[in-house]
Structure 1
């Protein structure tokens, strides 16, 4: 996993979302620059679709309330058919390696939000990998919000 450097994280709050509210809808769009290593986190009521490129290496996320419990659901796009199985496996492995960095960026980029809502610290995090290949089309547990605070 790459190391998190908070000086390379740029956070933008969009469309009616601020540092402490709302919880729902609160959506995250995390993109990056391969050239500079910078991370760009947009937090809004919707995803920042303009930031998504044809590489499809962004991480999207949102808060969900189910049975009066909150959890953080993230999404990683593996393949919709444009990548063969081998390339999809490579993409899946890269996401597996880099997701802890992505989660650290998302959680720490929205730190004031968690300080305002400390009951979310123990919320579970699930990653939905989206792929046409069953081997990569799955949901995985990635710990709790508190695991990614630095």
Structure 2
């Protein structure tokens, strides 16, 4: 894949936690700057809500245990009925196009986790697109983290 420019990825750890946050309580907030193209990845035991933008262009992600499997869940907000279905569809398509880069940023930014727990590279990735339109309020499979090295 290798779309990520490491100089444009800025990783910030909650309380400098690094590997002290177990995978099943680890959360990611990924924000991008339209002006500079920089990506800001916040890693911690909670989402970095204070950094969210009113446009809701961020990607939120977390590891969840489902039975015996850790799954990387991503959440993206595509819109509500006030913004109209066409806008919701356009935002979903834009997110779908940029999600490989977002997943690569998470995989690259938290590479120490994947080195410490190599089995996570083979965990499923599920992305939930949030919309008030039922046909756009869906969850899609995005493979596994090893695809985004």
- Aligned-residue offset at 1:135: 1.9
Normalised TM-score (structure 1) = 0.94
Residue 35 of structure 1 aligns to a residue whose secondary structure is: coil
Q: Which runs of 4+ in 1 moved over 6 A?
A: none
CA distance in 2, matches of 1:95, 1:57: 8
CA distance in 1, matches of 2:126, 2:81: 24
Contact 2:24/2:70 (8 A) holds in 1: no
> What RMSD, in angstroms, separates the aligned Cα atoms of the two structures?
1.7
Partner residue in 2 for 1:92: 92
Alignment map for 1:62-77 (pairs within 5 Å): 62-77=62-77
CA distance in 2, matches of 1:38, 1:99: 15
Normalised TM-score (structure 2) = 0.94
Contact 1:20/1:113 (8 A) holds in 2: no
Partner residue in 2 for 1:136: 136
CA distance in 1, matches of 2:15, 2:125: 24
Residue 24 of structure 1 aligns to a residue whose secondary structure is: helix
- Aligned-residue offset at 1:68: 1.1
CA distance in 2, matches of 1:127, 1:133: 16
Structure 1: where are the runs of 5+ without partners?
A: none
Aligned residues: 149
- Aligned-residue offset at 1:117: 0.4
- Return the structure number with greater helix share: 2
Greater shift, 9-18 or 88-97, is seen at: 9-18
